[in-house]
Structure 1
Amino acid sequence: MSKPFPTRGRDAAGAPSPALAATLGHAFRSPDALLDVLQSNPGGLDAEQIRARLQRDGLNEVSREKPPHWSLQLLRAFRNPFIVVLLVLAGVQLATDGNDLTGPLIIAVMVGISVLLSFTQEYRSSRAAEQLKAMVRNTATVRRRASDGHSEQIEVPVRELVVGDIVQLAAGDMVPADLRLLAAKDLFISQAILTGESVPVEKAAPAATASGAGDPLALAGVCYMGTNVVSGTASAVVLATGARSYLGSLAHSMTGARVQTSFDRGIRSVSWLLLRFMAVMVPVVFVINGLDKHDWGEAFLFALSIAVGLTPEMLPLIVTANLSKGALAMSRRKVVVKRLNAIQNFGAMDVLCTDKTGTLTLDRIVLERHLGLDGEASDQALEYGYLNSRFQTGLKNLLDKAVLAHRELEPVAARYRVVDEIPFDFQRRRMSVVLADGAGEHLLICKGAVEEMLSICAWAQTGDAIEPMTEQHRRTIKAMTHSLNEDGLRVLVVAVRRLPAQTRAYGVADEDGLVAVGCLAFLDPPKDSAATAIRALHQHGVAVKVITGDNEAVTRKICREVGLDVADSVQGRDIESLDDAALDALVPRVTVFAKMSPLQKARVVRSLQRLGHTVGFLGDGINDAPALHDADVGISVDTATDIAKESADIILLEKNLMVLEEGVLEGRVTFGNIMKYIKMTASSNFGNVFSVLVASAFLPFLPMLPLQILVQNLLYDISQLSIPFDRMDEEYLSKPRKWDAGDIGRFMAWIGPVSSIFDITTFWLMWRVFGANSPARQSLFQSGWFIEGLLSQTLIVHMIRTRRIPFLQSVASAPVLGLTIAIIVLGMLIPFSALGAKIGMVPLPPMYFAWLALTLVSYCVLTQLMKLIYIRRYGRWL
């Protein structure tokens, strides 16, 4: 989800925007007049009306949700600092040496490879992401008229809603379009996506709309697309869809407000590190060569070539290819990646916060026991519980479904009709229905969490006797329910109140003076795979914390059964009064957070982030949405509430913790392959520049011609295209990995000079052994360094890709082996080819290749020694 919008739907002069004009005009109409204007009715629209309105208004989609046109994606591939640098260098070279197009053509080939492959990867990954997202469909409950004229309530995809549709809302729903309420019951809407305010606002039917005319978001009778229902129920008519909605009118604000992730910041920091290095070294090379050779024009072209060689133009391609490969690999495991960058964050995750129900447990709750307050089986408690679940119109959770499995009580329910209901919310943690049986009285039946229910009960029924609720009664009931909790059962208390029949609406104030009747005990057994998955996550350096709204004793019991060591546990009330500093001190030692409110869950996530952790959150309920939004990786499931799916970065099509472990490993492989390219390029570039500085200071000619540098760089870039398909060593996958620009700079300074040592030995070899010691023999010198430089840069791929001994303890994947071998062979053949002659190279004597083999073996041995020292000193490699 994006940050709250900076505008309030008005133009610079303060007038309502066109998208809001119709909404404001409809805000104060009577329901009948409104339906007449919209050509709708309480029974809904028919198929012909829906078809006509879809043709007129289009699908109910905000434009930002569509992937950009391919042409925009192609242009965006050029929007990279390294590509811009190359294009500028090509332009400068054309301007200064327009007679020779070879250099600009080589740069054009390099830019073309990077841009076209980056575009292809992004285009394919965006298409694949759209296809995957289509598997996760949000729906809305609407009333529509069938062909026989009868009205029916059905679920339709949100994108198919039209103006005039009659929509039913319940807790957990995303508001699917801009709506005007026709009727509402205790309706609270979270407008955080629009206003940034975390506190839900109450919405009401038209009679209450008169207050809020000055601010569209304050209109009590209007609900806006993208907001979500926290509690309550409502019936509403669609006023605006798609781009005409309030959300759609602010699409540009949404696009610009996206917050940078740690992945974005990491890529940016590395890019600027390399650009700063280039900005310093290129002028130094230019000045040294100009002063030494007294040919400033040639020195300028040489410096330009060095700049090209220092430019990691394949970085955007390597990054996109790795991320899209990871996303597609996860899709084969029935995981939808909504945002590619989440793949890397998945690998960096070191704390996973998860709800209990459906993740650690089977998500198949059964009603295990129904008891009176004396602990004996009670049919009356079951009957009242059934009536409560049967007649509520809000979001039926798994507990309700377990109660409704007792279909033998349907004849009892047939004797009642529903009068009103008081919907569930996460503050009261209970819900009530008011029923009538024709006997002149109303029956209020309430069920909910133990402590919350006991606080509103004034009476206790034991057997057939009804007695005042005493502290002794409360202690007895709490002891009984605690015992059930210790056995892994979740307990709800059922209470009733009989009232005289009346026509007024019932509210929370009526939940008072109730008679506690009994309790319902539910069992949600742990998953067989949960213990294995938690053990695997721990082995890979991911700590698991359970953050749930459920009972503490039940949660601890389930955690023990799945092998999660509960070092400590707290309840939401324990952290409510803590400031951030106190919470940060508490959170590391706590494994279970029980009876947590939505905002408390989000506070724990933010606390872990302040402590330096990369946090994943797995949840599927409306109460998980704030935590999903704040987590580094929000993970939800296809069966989750709409707001949970909207807040998440990753959607699991199956609730399976083992998939999380696979996602963590895939994320680490993705990140590892990106770091391979960055560290290979950074260290190789540093070594080359250092070698150039030494050669420029002592040689009477250029150590390599500008065109030769460009060809060498092009071949080296091609050799790295297979990196996204490489594997990672097991020890690298054993713990989370994060960006560290400082480590990249340190790595560059340590490993880069190793190649320079053997560049300098090659200089000596060509000068002393092969007599390439004068301007007349410079082509031989340049050919020798061209091959040694290309082969050492290509071998560095294998040296850096693993902390082990390459080729012996760790072998690269087939694509990496094949492509690097091909480039090595091609590089050695170039001096003997027409291309070599074109760019100023000459064939090398056979003895040179014996010396080359000795140089490369020595280079690999020294690099391996430096690798061991570096790992021992800094504890890391990639």
Structure 2
Amino acid sequence: MKKRIVPRRRFPIAFEDVGGNLEACNPQELFLKLDASPEGLTQDEAERRWRIGTAKAFVRPEWWNAVLLLCSQFKSPLVLLLVVAVGLSAALGDTTNALIILFILLLTGTLGFWQEYKANRAVKKLQALVRTTVAAKRDGKWQKIMLDKTVPGDLIRLTAGDLIPGDCLLLKATDLHVNEATLTGESFPVEKRVGASPPGVPLNLRSNVLFEGSSIVNGEAEALVAKTGDRTELGKITRKLQQSAGKTAFEQGVTRFGYFIMQLTFFLAVGILVLNLFFKKPVADSILFSLALAVGIAPELLPAIMVTTLSAGAERMARKKVIVKKLSSIQNLGAINILCSDKTGTLTTGEAEVHSTLDINGQPSGLVRQYAWLNATFESGFFNPLDEALRHMEGMNAEGYSKFDEVPWDFIRKRLSIVVEKDARQIMITKGALQNVLDVCTHAEDAAGKRYPIKDVRKKILENFRAHSAKGFRTLGLAWKVVSGDPVINKDDEQEMIFLGFIYLFDPPKPDIREAIKNLDALGVTLKIITGDNHHVARHIAYMLGMQKPRVLTGIELRRISDEALPAKVMRTDIFAEVEPNQKDRIIDAFRNGGNVTGYIGDGINDATALRAADVGISVDSAVDVAKEASDMILLEKNLDVLREGVLEGRKTYLNTLKYIFVTTSANFGNMFSLAVISLFIPFLPLLPQQILLLNFLSDIPALGIAGDKVDEEQLYRPKRWNVHLIRRFMTLFGFQSSLFDFLTFAVLLWYFRVDEAHFQSGWFVESALTELLILLIVRTARPALHSRPGRFLLGTSLLLALAIPTIPYLSAGAIIGFKPLPLSLLAGMIGIAVLYGILVEQMKKLFFKKFEW
């Protein structure tokens, strides 16, 4: 009989493809429908499923993204209007000029595209260094895989701090609480448990389902992935949920500045068009001239300059071990004046050492030591340095002991319990914050085995605790009891326990941390410590860091302060101790509401909201996934010196971007304003539209070198914030000065040399182009221009253009766009006016920066 061949079933991309409600499904049914097993997928099958899923998902190819980026360079309404006007001009027979204008526009757009394209590629490479993983069972073994490589049918294991990679059915859970705020908006963790839910219940009632985008707050779980990508509950409503990321203060300032320039440009262009038509100048020429003026004023390369400057800053920061996830955060990093930091691992070594294990009388206790080691050794939750220190105690072994069960740590109980079995007896060993351990104890036991009611020795226990805390020791309490052989052990069993003693640990400050704090302070960045440790420990460590009289505010005191009074109070506080997780973002908000730009360093599960609340959220490469996801940048070394370098790079990036804005608001605006005014008093256009665009294009070439320009050292010592009033004053003053020299040039050309139309345009083009180069080289530094060397590209292109620009009227290509060769005396006059302009701008700059303390 011929064997029947069963065709291999293609795996379903998502659970709904095979019918049913995930919340009402039992595990055996789901394994069957997803063609999966409790042993996990094979690696080959997982890769096959991932390829199919990727093929079905809509992902723009790289070349299409490049095309969209190129098109975006021409999306400005002014440029589009100019293209329409050029089309009309060509239709009226002026094809040559129309083509020239289109060619120059294309060159300018291509210049911006190339800069942004290179910058975007560089940033993607840097961001790829940040890895987010999940534990999945492949080929029968648990292994770490990239989060985005998870496929339906994967069996995953999750612990506190993990991100959930897709919609999953819960198979096992121990005291599991999940943050689902991304999906449901619920700010408090939701308890999850195994067991079917009624079909079709609301998302927040599906207690047996884990949703993509959520994160594990505490507990442990195993789950079967049923949906990934846009088939998940989050994916279905991504467009509804997606909100543009909040803009940084710098971005908001640039946006407002852009609107201001656009409004100014619009009124100037419309006004000049109306007046030129009133004086009966050719309609087509008037329209083209007005639109070319508008394009000349508009800082059309500002987006490219910003992206290029930011990406260059990100690359430099990467070389200094800071990976930037959100480019715009670089400017905020340069602007921060408050840095909030956890104590452990950032200010201290993060490698705790066990100092002593003592009983309630302060005597060494071998049983405390043994039980503490067993608790840490059998614990399977997320990594923490205290358990790591306990596991490394010498001379310990688990002979005769086996693990029976575990009640994981959570931030409410602040305890971790392990149940071990020895000689057919189950012993619960609980360790955690001292007060939280005492809360579940009814008795205490000393090293000799004598027991006392807890109320009789509580005072002595707390005195011992305070004495050691004042010396900087972190304290854990340890308790135990015998439990029945109940197959299910949970947090309700943590009662009527016997307090056994103390575990004292010490996490010393980093050797170079005092110098690092001084260096940040020299940059105008004040350090504030936020810690869950008790105030005695925090104060002692702060003293070791060089804070002579640190001002401390505890979490309990924080609760009593109103939101209105808090901004003033936090500025008078150095240490926030005994802080609960949900108080961290309140502290951050208080600093921000007080007008401060605030950074926050955190790497724990309970740091995610504070990282999002800060102007700059900073995490480390070893942080839990949810902290890395919430951060704007990641330190490859948990080191404040690395952060200091990042602050400096942020300030360089800000200053270099501002240089382009200064040049745009002074030279461009001044020149275009002068052109607009003089066009009303002469019988011809002072510059043809294509000449204006060529002038604009040539001035943009060296401006692209701003991203790699050098910054004066003294400019880096203070936080730099967006200051629109400074920019407006700069634009008014230097634009007015530029216009004065333009009018001087017009007078020399018309009344001294008595030139015709073509020579007027050629002479003023040379003078204007040279002055734009000069002002770029002068205003890029607060120092005298000759005492501050520009970056190579900026300096090289400026020198080449300074030599090339005077020759343009003599070239055949110059004749095509309307230029004529200049008499040498006229050329010398234009160069002389440009030099005089440069000298006076240098003096004006000196007075301006001195007055406004730049």
Confirm or deny a common fold (TM above 0.5).
yes
Deviations 1:631-658 (A, max 9, x none): 2221111111111111112122222221
| Distance (whole Å) between structure 2 residues aligned to residue 556 and residue 252 of structure 1 | 48
Q: Secondary structure, in 3 states, of the residue corresponding to 1:702?
A: coil
Q: CA 1:55–1:844 in 2, change beyond 3 Å: closer, same or farther? A: closer
1:454 maps to which residue?
438
Partner of 1:5: none
Structure 2 match to 1:273: 260
Structure 2 CA distance, aligned partners of 1:38 and 1:82?
Answer: 47
* Aligned match of 1:4: none
Q: Which amino acid aligns with 1:482?
A: R
What does the per-residue CA deviation read over 1:359-380, in whole Å, with 9 as the maximum and x for residues that have no partner?
A: 1111222212211222222111
Q: In 2, distance between residues paired with 1:869 and 1:92?
A: 43
Which residue does the alignment assign to 2:5? Answer: none
Task: Name the CA distance, whole Å, in 1 between partners of 2:705 and 2:77.
Answer: 24
Tell me the residue number matched to 1:652.
Answer: 635
Q: 1:105 to 1:355 in 2, by over 3 A?
A: farther
Alignment of 1:174-213 (within 5 A): 174-206=163-195, 209-210=196-197, 213=200
Counterpart residue identity of residue 466, structure 2: H
What letter corresponds to residue 801 of structure 1 in structure 2?
A: R
2:38 — aligned with what? Answer: 42
- Aligned in 2, Cα 1:319/1:391: closer, same or farther, shift over 3 Å? same
Q: Structure 1 residues 709, 43: closer, same or farther in 2, change over 3 A?
A: closer
2:777 pairs with 1:798: yes
CA deviation digits over 1:422-459, x for unaligned, max 9? 211112211112222234x4322111112222222222
1:597 is displaced (CA, Å) by 2.3
Matched letter for residue 407 of structure 2: I
- Give 1:715's match in structure 2, choosing from 657, 680, 698: 698
Task: Say if 1:452 and 1:353 are closer, same or farther in 2 by CA, change over 3 A.
Answer: same
Deviation at 1:504, TM superposition (A): 5.2
| Deviations 1:185-236, CA, capped at 9 Å, x for gaps | 1100001111222200000011xx4368421342100101221111111222
Question: Which residue of structure 1 lines up, in the alignment, with residue 761 of structure 2?
Answer: 782
**Distance in 2 (alpha carbons) for counterparts of 1:152 and 1:516:** 40
Could you say which residue in structure 2 is the equivalent of 1:635? Answer: 618
TM-score of the superposed pair, with normalisation by structure 2 = 0.93
Q: Equivalent residue for 2:81?
A: 88
Q: Which moved more, 1:294-303 or 1:482-491?
A: 294-303
Greater alpha carbon shift after TM alignment, 224-233 vs 111-120: 111-120
Q: Do residues 215 (structure 1) and 202 (structure 2) align?
A: yes
Mapped contact 1:427–1:597 kept (Cα < 8 A)? no
Q: Does structure 2 retain, via aligned residues, the 8 Å contact 1:211–1:220?
A: no
| CA spacing shift, 1:828–1:121, aligned 2, 3 Å | closer
Once the two structures are overlaid, the 10-residue window that deviates more, 667-676 or 525-534, is: 525-534
Specify whether residues 224 and 841 from structure 1 end up closer, same or farther in structure 2 by C-alpha distance, changes over 3 A only. Answer: same
User: Aligned runs of 1:685-700 on 2, under 5 Å?
Assistant: 685-700=668-683
What is the 5 A alignment of 1:252-651?
252-292=239-279, 294-406=281-393, 408-410=395-397, 413-439=398-424, 441-469=425-453, 473-499=457-483, 501-503=484-486, 505-564=488-547, 567-651=550-634
Aligned to 1:725: 708
The equivalent of 1:160 in structure 2 is 149
Offset from partner CA, 1:452-490 (integer Å, 9 cap, x none): 222222222233254444556333222222222232221
Q: Residue 498 of structure 2: SS of its match in structure 1?
A: strand
The answer for the alignment partner of 1:136 in structure 2 is: 130
Could you say what secondary structure the match of 1:843 adopts?
Answer: coil
1:12 corresponds to: none
CA–CA separation in structure 1 for the residues paired with 2:127 and 2:705: 28
Q: Which amino acid aligns with 1:322?
A: T
Match of 2:852 in 1: 874
Q: Distance in 2 between matches of 1:436 and 1:310?
A: 79
Do 1:281 and 1:689's aligned partners in 2 also have CA atoms closer than 8 Å?
no
CA distance in 2, matches of 1:235, 1:531: 44
Distance 1:844 1:89 in 2: 30
SS of 1:385's equivalent? helix
Counterpart Cα distance in 2 of 1:42 and 1:793:
70
Q: Is the 8 A contact 1:686 1:749 kept in 2?
A: no
Q: In structure 1, what is the Cα distance between the partners aligned to 2:100 and 2:471?
A: 73
Quote the residue 2:113 is aligned against.
119
Alpha-carbon distance in structure 2 between the residues aligned to 1:55 and 1:795: 56
Unaligned runs of 5+ in 2: 1-12
* Alignment CA distance shift 1:108-1:522 (3 Å): farther
- Are the structure 2 counterparts of residues 667 and 62 from structure 1 closer, same or farther at C-alpha, using a change threshold of 3 Å? farther
Matched, 1:812 2:790: yes
RMSD: 2.6
> For each residue in 1:669-715, what CA deviation from the matched residue of structure 2 results, as whole angstroms up to 9, or x when unmatched?
11111111112112223312332244234434333333322222221
Which is worse superposed, 671-680 or 103-112? 103-112
Deviation, 1:23, is 8.7
Structure 1 stretch 257-266 or stretch 332-341: which is displaced more? Answer: 257-266
1:595 to partner: Cα distance: 2.3
Residue type of the alignment partner of 1:34: L
Out of 633-642 and 152-161, give the one that drifted further. 152-161
Q: Which segment is superposed worse, 662-671 or 136-145? A: 136-145
SS at match of 1:716: helix
Measure how far apart 1:144 and its partner are.
Answer: 4.1
| Contact preservation (8 Å) 2:338, 2:599 | yes
CA contact (8 A) 1:228 1:643 kept: yes
Q: What is the CA deviation profile of residues 329-351 of structure 1, one whole-angstrom value per residue up to 9, with x for unaligned ones?
A: 12222322222222222222222
**Contact conserved, 2:340 with 2:528, CA < 8 A, in 1?**
yes
CA contact (8 A) 1:353 1:547 kept: yes
Cα deviation, residue 95, structure 1 = 0.3
* CA–CA distance in structure 2, aligned partners of residues 225 and 705 of structure 1: 58
Alpha-carbon distance between aligned partners in 1 of 2:684 and 2:126, rounded to the nearest angstrom: 58
1:684 aligned to 2:672? no
How far off its partner does 1:850 sit? Answer: 4.3
Stretch moving more, 701-710 or 538-547: 701-710
Distance 2:557 2:134 in 1: 38
Residue 388 of structure 2 aligns to a residue whose secondary structure is helix
Q: 1:819 to 1:211 in 2, by over 3 A?
A: same
Distance in structure 2 (CA, Å) of the matches to 1:22 and 1:697? 74
Residue 508 of structure 1, CA deviation: 2.6
Cα 1:641–1:276 change in 2 (3 A) is same
* Counterpart residue type for residue 692 of structure 1: L
* Closer, same or farther: CA 116–301 of 1 in aligned 2, 3 Å: closer
Q: After superposition, where does 1:48-87 map in structure 2 within 5 Å?
A: 49-58=45-54, 69-79=62-72, 83-87=76-80
1:590 deviation in Å?
1.3
Asked whether the equivalents of residues 78 and 291 of structure 2 are also in contact (C-alpha less than 8 Å), the reply is no
Equivalent residue, structure 1, for 2:736: 753
Aligned residue among 816, 820, 826 for 1:842: 820
SS in 2 for 1:651: strand
Percentage identity across paired residues of the two chains: 36
Q: Any idea what the Cα deviations from partners look like across 1:775-818, whole Å, max 9, x if unmatched?
A: xx2322222212111111111101211122111x2221222111
Larger mean CA deviation between 248-257 and 659-668 belongs to 248-257
TM-score of the superposed pair, with normalisation by structure 1? 0.90
